[in-house]
Protein backbone atom coordinates (compact mmCIF):
# COMPACT_ATOMS: atom_id res chain seq x y z
CA UNK A 1 0.00 0.00 0.00
CA UNK A 2 1.61 3.32 -1.02
CA UNK A 3 1.85 6.07 1.55
CA UNK A 4 0.09 8.64 -0.63
CA UNK A 5 -3.32 7.06 -1.25
CA UNK A 6 -5.70 4.13 -0.89
CA UNK A 7 -5.82 1.47 -3.60
CA UNK A 8 -9.25 0.39 -4.84
CA UNK A 9 -8.50 -3.32 -5.16
CA UNK A 10 -11.85 -4.09 -6.80
CA UNK A 11 -11.14 -1.60 -9.57
CA UNK A 12 -7.61 -2.99 -9.86
CA UNK A 13 -9.03 -6.46 -10.44
CA UNK A 14 -11.39 -5.02 -13.05
CA UNK A 15 -8.47 -3.37 -14.86
CA UNK A 16 -6.47 -6.61 -14.82
CA UNK A 17 -9.27 -8.91 -15.95
CA UNK A 18 -11.09 -6.91 -18.64
CA UNK A 19 -11.57 -9.22 -21.61
CA UNK A 20 -9.41 -8.27 -24.64
CA UNK A 21 -12.52 -7.81 -26.77
CA UNK A 22 -13.81 -5.19 -24.32
CA UNK A 23 -10.46 -3.58 -23.53
CA UNK A 24 -9.02 -0.48 -25.13
CA UNK A 25 -7.43 2.90 -24.42
CA UNK A 26 -7.84 4.41 -20.99
CA UNK A 27 -6.64 7.78 -19.72
CA UNK A 28 -5.23 7.81 -16.17
CA UNK A 29 -5.71 11.30 -14.70
CA UNK A 30 -3.31 12.04 -11.82
CA UNK A 31 -3.82 14.80 -9.23
CA UNK A 32 -0.59 15.24 -7.27
CA UNK A 33 0.38 17.00 -4.06
CA UNK A 34 4.05 16.98 -3.05
CA UNK A 35 5.95 16.92 0.19
CA UNK A 36 8.06 19.99 0.86
CA UNK A 37 11.14 17.76 1.24
CA UNK A 38 11.39 14.20 -0.09
CA UNK A 39 11.37 11.47 2.55
CA UNK A 40 12.98 8.17 1.55
CA UNK A 41 12.10 5.00 3.37
CA UNK A 42 15.75 4.06 3.82
CA UNK A 43 16.28 7.24 5.86
CA UNK A 44 18.80 8.86 3.53
CA UNK A 45 19.37 12.60 3.96
CA UNK A 46 18.33 14.72 1.03
CA UNK A 47 17.65 18.32 0.14
CA UNK A 48 15.54 17.18 -2.80
CA UNK A 49 11.99 18.56 -2.86
CA UNK A 50 9.01 16.30 -3.31
CA UNK A 51 8.51 17.62 -6.83
CA UNK A 52 12.15 16.92 -7.69
CA UNK A 53 11.81 13.36 -6.40
CA UNK A 54 8.72 12.86 -8.56
CA UNK A 55 10.62 14.21 -11.57
CA UNK A 56 13.30 11.59 -10.86
CA UNK A 57 10.60 8.91 -10.70
CA UNK A 58 9.14 9.73 -14.13
CA UNK A 59 8.85 6.18 -15.60
CA UNK A 60 9.44 6.98 -19.27
CA UNK A 61 10.94 3.59 -20.12
CA UNK A 62 8.18 1.76 -18.26
CA UNK A 63 5.47 3.72 -20.11
CA UNK A 64 7.11 3.10 -23.47
CA UNK A 65 7.47 -0.58 -22.62
CA UNK A 66 3.71 -1.04 -22.29
CA UNK A 67 2.78 1.28 -25.15
CA UNK A 68 1.61 4.15 -22.94
CA UNK A 69 2.23 7.86 -23.48
CA UNK A 70 2.25 10.97 -21.32
CA UNK A 71 -0.26 13.31 -23.00
CA UNK A 72 -0.80 16.13 -20.50
CA UNK A 73 1.18 17.88 -17.76
CA UNK A 74 0.19 21.09 -15.98
CA UNK A 75 1.01 23.04 -12.86
CA UNK A 76 -1.91 24.04 -10.65
CA UNK A 77 -1.99 27.84 -10.52
CA UNK A 78 -5.38 28.31 -8.84
CA UNK A 79 -7.74 26.15 -6.81
CA UNK A 80 -11.24 27.61 -6.84
CA UNK A 81 -13.30 24.75 -5.41
CA UNK A 82 -12.58 21.63 -3.39
CA UNK A 83 -11.65 20.45 0.05
CA UNK A 84 -8.50 21.44 1.94
CA UNK A 85 -6.12 19.46 -0.30
CA UNK A 86 -4.03 21.88 -2.35
CA UNK A 87 -2.91 20.12 -5.52
CA UNK A 88 0.42 20.95 -7.16
CA UNK A 89 0.46 19.24 -10.53
CA UNK A 90 -1.75 17.29 -12.95
CA UNK A 91 -0.54 14.54 -15.26
CA UNK A 92 -2.43 12.33 -17.72
CA UNK A 93 -1.13 9.11 -19.25
CA UNK A 94 -2.94 7.32 -22.09
CA UNK A 95 -2.59 3.55 -21.86
CA UNK A 96 -3.42 1.36 -24.86
CA UNK A 97 -5.43 -0.98 -22.61
CA UNK A 98 -6.48 -1.28 -18.99
CA UNK A 99 -4.29 -4.33 -18.63
CA UNK A 100 -1.27 -2.30 -19.80
CA UNK A 101 -1.65 -0.13 -16.71
CA UNK A 102 -1.50 -3.23 -14.49
CA UNK A 103 1.40 -4.73 -16.45
CA UNK A 104 3.44 -1.56 -15.93
CA UNK A 105 3.20 -1.98 -12.16
CA UNK A 106 4.95 -5.36 -12.49
CA UNK A 107 7.94 -4.13 -14.47
CA UNK A 108 11.32 -4.16 -12.75
CA UNK A 109 12.26 -0.71 -14.07
CA UNK A 110 9.00 0.73 -12.73
CA UNK A 111 9.50 -0.80 -9.30
CA UNK A 112 13.09 0.43 -9.16
CA UNK A 113 12.06 4.03 -9.82
CA UNK A 114 8.99 3.99 -7.59
CA UNK A 115 11.00 4.78 -4.44
CA UNK A 116 11.28 8.36 -5.74
CA UNK A 117 7.51 8.71 -6.13
CA UNK A 118 6.98 7.30 -2.66
CA UNK A 119 9.53 9.75 -1.28
CA UNK A 120 8.11 12.82 -2.98
CA UNK A 121 4.35 12.36 -3.04
CA UNK A 122 2.20 13.53 -0.15
CA UNK A 123 -1.15 12.66 -1.71
CA UNK A 124 -2.52 11.65 -5.08
CA UNK A 125 -5.73 10.69 -6.84
CA UNK A 126 -5.54 8.53 -9.97
CA UNK A 127 -8.79 8.27 -11.95
CA UNK A 128 -9.31 5.89 -14.86
CA UNK A 129 -11.16 7.84 -17.56
CA UNK A 130 -12.89 7.28 -20.88
CA UNK A 131 -13.74 10.11 -23.34
CA UNK A 132 -17.27 11.50 -23.43
CA UNK A 133 -18.97 13.00 -26.46
CA UNK A 134 -19.11 16.77 -26.04
CA UNK A 135 -22.63 18.26 -26.29
CA UNK A 136 -23.32 20.77 -29.02
CA UNK A 137 -23.30 24.39 -27.91
CA UNK A 138 -23.59 27.03 -30.65
CA UNK A 139 -22.34 24.39 -33.06
CA UNK A 140 -19.22 23.95 -30.89
CA UNK A 141 -17.62 26.68 -32.95
CA UNK A 142 -13.86 27.14 -32.60
CA UNK A 143 -12.92 30.82 -32.53
CA UNK A 144 -9.44 31.81 -33.60
CA UNK A 145 -7.51 33.05 -30.58
CA UNK A 146 -6.34 36.07 -32.57
CA UNK A 147 -9.98 37.17 -32.77
CA UNK A 148 -11.02 36.87 -29.11
CA UNK A 149 -11.26 39.77 -26.63
CA UNK A 150 -8.43 38.39 -24.46
CA UNK A 151 -5.89 36.59 -26.66
CA UNK A 152 -2.81 34.84 -25.27
CA UNK A 153 0.35 36.85 -24.77
CA UNK A 154 3.82 36.33 -23.31
CA UNK A 155 2.60 37.04 -19.78
CA UNK A 156 -0.74 35.22 -19.93
CA UNK A 157 -0.90 32.15 -22.13
CA UNK A 158 -3.27 29.17 -22.34
CA UNK A 159 -5.14 28.49 -19.12
CA UNK A 160 -7.04 25.25 -18.50
CA UNK A 161 -9.96 24.81 -16.16
CA UNK A 162 -10.08 21.26 -14.82
CA UNK A 163 -13.28 20.05 -13.17
CA UNK A 164 -13.40 16.81 -11.18
CA UNK A 165 -17.08 16.14 -10.55
CA UNK A 166 -19.35 13.94 -8.49
CA UNK A 167 -23.03 14.47 -9.27
CA UNK A 168 -25.97 14.14 -6.95
CA UNK A 169 -27.82 10.82 -7.37
CA UNK A 170 -26.05 9.93 -10.62
CA UNK A 171 -26.99 6.51 -11.98
CA UNK A 172 -23.69 5.99 -13.77
CA UNK A 173 -20.37 7.52 -14.62
CA UNK A 174 -21.52 8.79 -18.04
CA UNK A 175 -24.70 10.48 -16.82
CA UNK A 176 -24.91 14.27 -16.86
CA UNK A 177 -27.97 15.50 -14.92
CA UNK A 178 -30.45 17.70 -16.74
CA UNK A 179 -29.71 20.76 -14.61
CA UNK A 180 -26.00 20.43 -15.46
CA UNK A 181 -26.91 20.29 -19.14
CA UNK A 182 -28.90 23.51 -18.72
CA UNK A 183 -25.88 25.17 -17.15
CA UNK A 184 -23.62 23.97 -19.96
CA UNK A 185 -25.78 25.65 -22.60
CA UNK A 186 -25.53 29.03 -20.87
CA UNK A 187 -21.85 28.76 -19.96
CA UNK A 188 -20.90 27.44 -23.39
CA UNK A 189 -22.63 30.25 -25.24
CA UNK A 190 -20.52 32.72 -23.24
CA UNK A 191 -17.25 30.78 -23.28
CA UNK A 192 -17.14 30.05 -27.03
CA UNK A 193 -16.84 33.72 -28.15
CA UNK A 194 -14.05 34.02 -25.58
CA UNK A 195 -12.11 31.23 -27.28
CA UNK A 196 -12.69 28.18 -25.07
CA UNK A 197 -11.55 24.84 -26.48
CA UNK A 198 -12.57 21.54 -24.95
CA UNK A 199 -9.47 19.39 -24.68
CA UNK A 200 -11.47 16.50 -23.26
CA UNK A 201 -14.48 15.55 -21.17
CA UNK A 202 -14.24 12.13 -19.53
CA UNK A 203 -16.37 9.60 -17.75
CA UNK A 204 -14.62 8.43 -14.58
CA UNK A 205 -14.65 4.63 -14.79
CA UNK A 206 -13.00 4.19 -11.39
CA UNK A 207 -10.44 5.64 -8.99
CA UNK A 208 -7.53 3.22 -8.65
CA UNK A 209 -5.79 5.39 -6.04
CA UNK A 210 -7.33 8.06 -3.86
CA UNK A 211 -9.15 8.76 -0.63
CA UNK A 212 -12.22 6.56 -1.10
CA UNK A 213 -14.38 9.09 -2.92
CA UNK A 214 -16.22 8.18 -6.14
CA UNK A 215 -16.05 10.60 -9.06
CA UNK A 216 -18.26 10.70 -12.15
CA UNK A 217 -16.57 13.02 -14.64
CA UNK A 218 -13.35 14.94 -15.31
CA UNK A 219 -13.37 17.89 -17.71
CA UNK A 220 -10.62 19.99 -19.29
CA UNK A 221 -11.58 23.34 -20.89
CA UNK A 222 -8.74 25.50 -22.19
CA UNK A 223 -9.00 29.27 -22.60
CA UNK A 224 -6.60 31.46 -24.59
CA UNK A 225 -5.63 33.26 -21.37
CA UNK A 226 -6.58 33.56 -17.73
CA UNK A 227 -8.11 36.92 -18.62
CA UNK A 228 -10.47 35.13 -21.02
CA UNK A 229 -11.47 32.65 -18.31
CA UNK A 230 -12.05 35.48 -15.84
CA UNK A 231 -14.31 37.30 -18.29
CA UNK A 232 -16.44 34.16 -18.61
CA UNK A 233 -16.42 33.44 -14.88
CA UNK A 234 -17.59 36.94 -14.02
CA UNK A 235 -20.35 37.09 -16.65
CA UNK A 236 -23.63 37.73 -14.84
CA UNK A 237 -25.70 35.32 -16.94
CA UNK A 238 -23.21 32.52 -16.31
CA UNK A 239 -23.14 33.25 -12.58
CA UNK A 240 -26.93 33.11 -12.37
CA UNK A 241 -26.96 29.82 -14.28
CA UNK A 242 -24.33 28.44 -11.95
CA UNK A 243 -26.41 29.27 -8.90
CA UNK A 244 -29.60 27.86 -10.41
CA UNK A 245 -28.31 24.77 -12.20
CA UNK A 246 -24.67 23.82 -11.57
CA UNK A 247 -24.73 24.08 -7.79
CA UNK A 248 -27.82 21.85 -7.61
CA UNK A 249 -26.25 19.22 -9.89
CA UNK A 250 -22.89 18.75 -8.16
CA UNK A 251 -22.31 16.97 -4.86
CA UNK A 252 -18.50 17.26 -4.78
CA UNK A 253 -15.91 18.86 -7.02
CA UNK A 254 -12.45 20.24 -7.57
CA UNK A 255 -12.14 23.26 -9.87
CA UNK A 256 -8.49 23.86 -10.69
CA UNK A 257 -6.86 26.52 -12.87
CA UNK A 258 -3.93 24.97 -14.72
CA UNK A 259 -0.98 26.17 -16.77
CA UNK A 260 -0.14 23.33 -19.18
CA UNK A 261 3.49 22.53 -19.98
CA UNK A 262 2.49 19.61 -22.24
CA UNK A 263 -0.91 19.33 -23.88
CA UNK A 264 -1.63 16.57 -26.40
CA UNK A 265 -4.88 15.62 -24.72
CA UNK A 266 -7.31 16.45 -27.53
CA UNK A 267 -5.06 14.79 -30.11
CA UNK A 268 -4.79 11.66 -27.97
CA UNK A 269 -8.60 11.38 -27.93
CA UNK A 270 -9.00 12.10 -31.62
CA UNK A 271 -6.46 9.42 -32.56
CA UNK A 272 -8.59 6.81 -30.78
CA UNK A 273 -11.89 7.59 -32.48
CATH assignment of the domain containing 213: 3.30.70.100
Give the per-residue pLDDT at 135: 81
pLDDT, average across residues 183-192: 95
> Is residue 260 over pLDDT 70?
yes
Same domain for 152 and 97, yes or no, is no
Q: Which residues span the domain enclosing 222? A: 134-270
Give the per-residue pLDDT at 175: 81
Same domain for 31 and 53, yes or no, is yes
Give the residue from 72, 102, 129 where a domain finishes: 129
Same domain for 81 and 39, yes or no, is yes
> Is residue 137 over pLDDT 80?
no
**pLDDT tens digits for 42-58?**
999 899 999 999 999 98
Residue 88 lies in a domain: yes
**At 164, which helix (H) or strand (E)?**
strand 159-167
Same domain for 113 and 29, yes or no, is yes
Residue 1 lies in a domain: no
The answer for 180, left when phi > 0, alpha when psi is -120 to 50, beta otherwise, is: alpha
pLDDT, average across residues 28-51: 95
Give the per-residue pLDDT at 212: 94
Give the residue from 84, 103, 129 where a domain finishes: 129
pLDDT, average across residues 71-81: 97
pLDDT, average across residues 224-252: 97
Residue 149 lies in a domain: yes
Same domain for 90 and 153, yes or no, is no
pLDDT, average across residues 131-158: 89
Q: pTM to 2 decimals?
A: 0.95
How far CA 49 is from CA of 75, 77, 217, in Å, comes to 16, 18, 31
What is the total count of domains within the chain? 2
Q: Are 116 and 60 in contact (CB under 8 A)?
A: no
Amino acid sequence: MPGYGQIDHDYGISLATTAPADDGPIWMVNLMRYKDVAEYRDGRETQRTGREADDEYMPTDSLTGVGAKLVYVADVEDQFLGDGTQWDRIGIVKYPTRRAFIEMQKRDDFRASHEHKEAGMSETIVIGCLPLDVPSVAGNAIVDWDDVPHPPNDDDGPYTMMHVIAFHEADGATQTPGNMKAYQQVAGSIAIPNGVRIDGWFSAEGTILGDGRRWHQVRFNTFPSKRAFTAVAMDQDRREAQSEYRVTAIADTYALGLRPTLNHLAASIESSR
